[in-house]
Structure 1
Amino acid sequence: MVDTREQIEQRLSVLIGVGLSGAGRAADMLTLQFGPLREMTTKHGTVKRVGAWALHIQCTWKIEHANEVFAGSPDFAVSDEATRAKLERIRGLIADNGPFMVERVSVGANGNVSISMSRQLHLSIIADAEPDEEDWRFFDPGSAGKHFVIQGGKVDPWSLT
């Protein structure tokens, strides 16, 4: 039997000491980049900037800065214009107040994760734990390696094969 907490701690431990370098979105999914940004050509021929590690969050999330909620998943569930504006605010925070270095990763039940960074930045991921629904994924962009996926609050067994 797979120990979800142990697997998450093992995978996300590589972020300790690595900086948050970028933010993006795909519809209502938050995408975060960690580590130095580099250019990568996608299979569709477009060039994008990616970090050493990517975290794509489709479940409930919250970013706090200096103990105040700065942004959250409800901000991405509104109009496209409002979502773009909130994303630009997140990008501005990273550019203007960074670097934000990952100091600690704490793992809770059901795939929940708390990532504490320098300069009072904190990311909370609250897995929705809906069966057959992806909560979040962690991977090395551009690598042929499998993505580490939390689905339904548990490690997707496909991630471990």
Structure 2
Amino acid sequence: MINARQEIEGRLSVLRGLQVSTVHHAADMLTVQFGLLREVSNFKGAVKHVGQWALHVQCDWQIERNGKVLATQGVLAASVDEAQRRAAESISDLLVGHERTIVESILANESGDVQLILSEGTRMIVTSGRTPEYEDWRLFEPGSDARHFVIEGGKIDPYSLP
């Protein structure tokens, strides 16, 4: 039997020392890229810039700096595309902006909750939804065929494991 906390922290440890490269959204899903950006082509042949690692978050999350909440998943829950775009740009300004935001450490628990401790007193807190068969978040290498590491319903998706 695996220790979920250790497995999650171990998988996310690849982010330690990497900077937040980009922040975007797909509907109400937060997408964060980490590490140096590189060009890849999507299935339609369009070129896009991706980081070494990507974190896609579909459950509750918030970004804090020095104990003050700066953004939550609610800002992307708006049904208007323009409002979501502005919210994602605002989050990008917080994490990418003019200063390099680096992942300093990772904390997790057995239920898939994660804290990314970032530089400058910033934290990204991800709280798994614990709704069975609903994806909470995933970590993957964009452009790679490697398995994605997925938390679904507050548990590690068994397909994520070797």
Per-residue CA shift, 1:22-68, capped at 9, x if unaligned? 10111110000000111110112111111000000000000112332
Q: Secondary structure at the match of 2:133?
A: coil
Provide the C-alpha distance between the structure 1 equivalents of 2:138 and 2:152, rounded to a whole number of angstroms. Answer: 9
Kindly, what percent of the aligned residue pairs are identical? 45
Note closer, same or farther for the CA distance 1:105–1:95 as it changes in structure 2 (3 Å cut). Answer: closer
CA separation of 1:156 and 1:95: change in aligned 2, threshold 3 A: closer
Matches of 1:94 and 1:132, distance apart in 2:
30
Matched position secondary structure for 2:32 = strand
Structure-2 residue corresponding to 1:123:
124
Show structure 1 runs of 5+ residues with no match.
none
Which region of structure 1 is more displaced relative to structure 2, 65-74 or 25-34? 65-74
For 1:16, the aligned partner's letter is R
- Indicate the residue corresponding to 2:161 in structure 1: 160
Aligned to 1:55: 55
Moved over 4 A (4+): none
**8 Å contact 1:63–1:72 — kept in the other structure?**
yes
Contact 1:2 1:155 in 2 (8 A): no
AA of the residue aligned to 1:83: Q
Task: Report the counterpart of residue 33 of structure 1 in structure 2.
Answer: 33
Residue equivalent to 1:148: 149
**How do residues 76-115 of structure 1 correspond to structure 2 at under 5 angstroms?**
76-78=76-78, 79-115=80-116
Kept in 1: contact 2:133–2:153 (CA 8 A): yes
Structure 2 residue runs of 5 or longer lacking an equivalent are: none
In 2, Cα distance between equivalents of 1:116 and 1:109 = 18
How many correspondences in the alignment?
Answer: 161
What's the secondary structure of 2:102's corresponding residue?
Answer: strand
Please report the TM-score for the alignment, with normalisation by the length of structure 2: 0.94
Q: Determine which structure has the larger helix proportion and give its number.
A: 1
